[in-house]
Each structure stands twice: as C-alpha cells, then as structure tokens.
Structure 1
Amino acid sequence: MSTTIGKFQGIPTTCISDAMEGLNNLDPTIKPLKESYKFSGRALTVKMPVGDNLAVLKAIGEAKPGDVLVIDAKGDQYRAVAGDFILGMAKTLGVSALVVDGVIRDILGTKELNFPVFCKGTTVAASGKAGVGEINVPISCGGTSVYPGDIIVGDADGVVVIPQQSEEEILQASLNKLKKDEEREANISGNTEALRKYIDSMLSRTSSK
C-alpha cells in the first residue's frame, strides 16, 4: 500500500468529504455490510449491464493486491453482482474491497469472509454470464464519476472518491480538517463556556452572510 493510500486509510470519510466540499461522495444508500469495515485503495473499475457479472470475474482475475473493485451495476437491486463464492475469490486474490451501486447475495457467508463489501443491499437472484461489460474504463457509481486509479476510501459513514490528479492536495486538506476537528473537540467538548462561545460564533457568522 502506497504512503498516500495508507494515509487516507487513517482519515474518516467525513473529513475527506469536507475537504472536497461533498463533491465526490457515493450515494448514501451504498453502505458497508458491517460498520467495522474500513478500506482505502485504487479503483479497478467495472462497467456491467444489468444481470451479467462476467466482467466482475474478469476484473478479479486482473486485479492487483490492494485494488478496490468499483462496479457500475446501474443501481439494479434484483440480480446480485456476486455471492460469497466470488467475493471469497476476490479476497483470496488480494482485492481490498468491493463497492457497487447494486446488490450482493449469500449475506451470511459474505459476512463470514470479513471482506469489505459496500452495496445497496442483498437479493436472492443470481446474475448471468453472457460476457458483456468492460473493465478499467471511466464509470459512474452511486452518482459519482470514478476513473481507473482513483483512490477510494470507505468506512461506516460511506464511500468517497479521490481523483488521482489531485490526491496529494486533497490528502493535505483532509489532514488539516482532521487536525482542526481534533483540536475543536479537545478545546470545546465538556467546556460549557467554550461551547456557548462556539455556538454564538457560528450563529453570528451565519447571520452576517
């Protein structure tokens, strides 16, 4: 894992989102199967038609250790993009997480894998394998553009996309936001007088606009 990706792993998605002014968040319906899941890695993108997951298998076969599979499944919630068998393959081959604007199946077996899956839910229906689809192309996932190689970070609050051309700038802004949040917590939390001053300052700032 590169230094940049590793540093993003330690930053809450909320801070990263604030640093990007909320412009690159995936739709909040895409949630982790377990709140404890947290990951960061580079996107290996998958564009698939509804109900045909052969491109997902191709992506798993070509993934490098640490890659995040980001799948454009068109938001379909009837047919699963993968079940516990395919997800187990992804984990074994070093994929760090799977993010999809769709659903998976075999929920109990998938949770036992302890493999970060972020999706819209679960279903019972499988996908077919007609062979249509593409990998490593620009996609839209959860209403957000994702390019191959973008850094993807996910935790209990959701998933954010960091465009690779500005990742260092966004990293610094995210670290600055995290530091400010920690300082605010240390200085204000539990201090009644400081809390009132903070509220007054926020209200006066709003009223002056």
Structure 2
Amino acid sequence: MESIINQFKSIATTCISDAMQGLNNLDPAIKPLKEEYRFAGRALTVKTAVGDNLAVLKAIRESKPGDVIIVDVKGDRYRAIAGDFVVGMAQTMGASALVVDGAIRDIAAIKALNFPVFSKGSTVAASGKAGTGEINVPISCGGISIQPGDIIVGDTDGVVAIPQSIEQEVLDKALDKMAKDEERESKIAGNIEEIKKYLDGMLAK
C-alpha cells in the first residue's frame, strides 16, 4: 500500500486546505524559493530563539530521511536561520524540505542546490550559536500549532500542516475534493452551456 506521505505528495495544498476548511495553513508569506518546489513529510520541529540557529544544526544531525525540518523563529527576518552551507547539510542528510517562519540567506547558492526551502524572505545577517532552543517539541510556525510527526505539505501556493490525529480523514477528503475538481473541470471546460448552468447554480444559492 502506498504510504500516506506519498499520497499527500500528489495532492495540491489547495485541496488539502479545503479538506481542513482552511484552518491549518501556515502564514501565506512563507513561500518556496522556486515555484516548482513541492514536498510532503513528517515534521521535525525546531524551537529557537531569534538570531540563534544551533538548534537547527541539532535537528539536521538528528534528522531521518524524509523529515521536514520546520523552524519556529518567531517570524524574525533580520537574521537568517540558514544559508547554503546549512541547507546543503540538511539535503545531504536526506531531509525533504526546510520550512521557516523567518529568513534565510545565500539565495542563489541555495537555489542551485534544488532543495525545497520555504521562508518569509531573505536577509544578509547570520545567526549566532548561543545554543538556545529545542527540537521535537510542539511549536507555532506561521501562526499554526505543529506537533512533532505532523504531516507538512508545501507547494507553490504555500504550506499546510496536517495533525497526525486526523491525517487519514484529511487524506480521504482531499482525494475526494481533487477528484470532484477534476470532474467539474472536464465537464465545463470550454463548454459555454455547462458554464452557464454551473454559474446559475452557484448564484441561486
């Protein structure tokens, strides 16, 4: 049987969001460095102080292939939580993505790695390594509560978090939504009469 992670990889974040009524979308300011980036994996959570990324290094060291390293840095955009060297290590260790509610740096070099990085933007300032922070603890990232092991999915539209307790339910609803969207598209695309019927039905509600 195909793993639940692989099934989520084939579903747009918009469908997953709809399946959860939009309640678990990370801040829309968190975007991929490249539009083609998409990923799905389990959260390896990082809570760190603003301007300190030692906990990120610990997360990379403890990561398993497929993990999504997701970092709560309180939305800070002044100091980068990672540059190309740190991102390269995460890629080599087999992580599937890095998601941060803050900034990164070395943009051109990171893009050359072709590794999914989602952030609020870029900066030139580096983080320090005082050591404040924890991994595999509950965090808030992009305004959403995330537990270690939750499924995180990202694509060009943004990032969604799926709590473990409802992951199968969300998968089923998202697959159903995707199938209905595809059926609707095939029925009305390029068909003026079907478009009119659809719009009449929506406007009559």
Question: TM-score under structure 2 normalisation?
Answer: 0.99
Residues 157-168 of structure 1: pairs in structure 2 closer than 5 A = 157-168=157-168
Task: Give the partner amino acid of 1:143.
Answer: G
User: Where does 1:156-195 land on structure 2 (aligned, <5 Å)?
Assistant: 156-195=156-195
Name the structure 1 match of 2:111.
Answer: 111
Partner of 1:123: 123
TM-score normalised by L of structure 1 = 0.97
- In structure 2, list runs of 5 or more residues that go unmatched: none
For residues 117 and 72 of structure 1, the distance between their equivalents in structure 2, rounded to whole angstroms, comes to 14
Structure 2 equivalent of residue 64 of structure 1: 64
Q: Per-residue deviation at 1:57?
A: 0.1
Q: Are 1:75 and 2:75 matched, yes or no?
A: yes
1:199 Cα deviation (Å)? 0.5
- Name the SS for the 2:122 alignment partner: coil
How much has 1:11 moved relative to structure 2? 0.2
RMSD: 0.6
Aligned to 2:155: 155
- List gaps (5 residues or longer) in structure 1: none
Equivalents in 1 of 2:203, 2:3: separation in Å? 39
In the TM superposition, what is the alpha-carbon distance from 1:10 to its structure 2 partner?
Answer: 0.1
SS at match of 1:64: coil
How far off its partner does 1:5 sit?
0.4
Deviations for 1:108-138, whole angstroms, at most 9, x for unmatched residues?
1000000000000100000000000000000
Cα offsets for 1:142-173 (capped at 9, x unmatched): 00011000000000000000001110010000
Structure-2 residue corresponding to 1:6: 6
- Matched with 1:86 is 86
C-alpha distance in structure 2 between counterparts of 1:142 and 1:105, whole Å: 19
Runs of 4+, deviation exceeding 6 Å: none
Q: Give the count of matched residue pairs.
A: 204
Instruction: Give 1:139 shift.
Output: 0.4
Other structure's SS at 2:177 match: helix
What do residues 187-206 of structure 1 show as CA deviations (whole Å, max 9, x unaligned)? 0111000001101100111x
2:43 — aligned with what?
43
> Could you report, residue by residue, the CA deviation over 1:56-103 in whole angstroms, capped at 9, with x for unpaired residues?
000000000000001001000000000000000000000000000000
Counterparts of 1:23 and 1:146, CA distance in 2: 12
